[in-house]
Structure 1
Amino acid sequence: MNLAQIAVIAAACVALVACSRNDSVFSLAPNYTGKTVQTVADVAGCIAERWRASARHLHEVHANGAIRLEAQSLFHGVTIGVRLRTRDGDTLVEYFQRRVADPIYREMVRECTRT
């Protein structure tokens, strides 16, 4: 094998490892962050209702006053998630996606945070 072949194999290995990460979608940087005066429960209910109709495998976790919603986009199976928590009397909304998901999911989150 020459140096060029080794470089191609190494690059393919790095890409494979990067695409097969098993860590949580919430360990990534948020794709969208917003604040609203609505309660955490109200925003979570709105997002969950919309995602139930348009995503797969919706999970809701309540911990330490925060709510996390995680699902997979309907057609491409991209992992998406929302973390909601109270900060300074408002609800902090953070939307995450594993890869680029259909923009409709982020728009659903944004629509649920409008007052």
Structure 2
Amino acid sequence: MRKMIFLMAFISIFLISCSSSKSFEGRISDIKKGYFEVDCSKEVQKGEEKGESAGYPCTVKLSDETIFRDNHGKKLKARHFTTGLDIKVVLADRKKISKSKESREVEAREIILLN
């Protein structure tokens, strides 16, 4: 019986972690002190049928531990990032990003400039 409970718990955790995101790509739409606003519409609409074209911004919180680099691994500073640039956001913790505003507030472990 314990093995069955353990197995069910493991499967549940696995399924939850599969539906959550580790990273996403988007375009920087705004820069404020301590965060970037990034279009994360593709991540929100992942797995949905095409049709809706609403834009979904994510608030990407930055910390002293956030790493900034280009896609070749070269270290950058936050000042190298401006609005209109395409980036990849690696999240500090996996998270399910959806249409709800709360789910679109994330913390970045790493910001990667895409070319």
The TM-score with structure 2 as length reference comes to 0.32
The structure with the largest strand share of the pair is 2
The structure with the largest helix share of the pair is 1
Q: Give the structure with higher Rg (CA).
A: 1
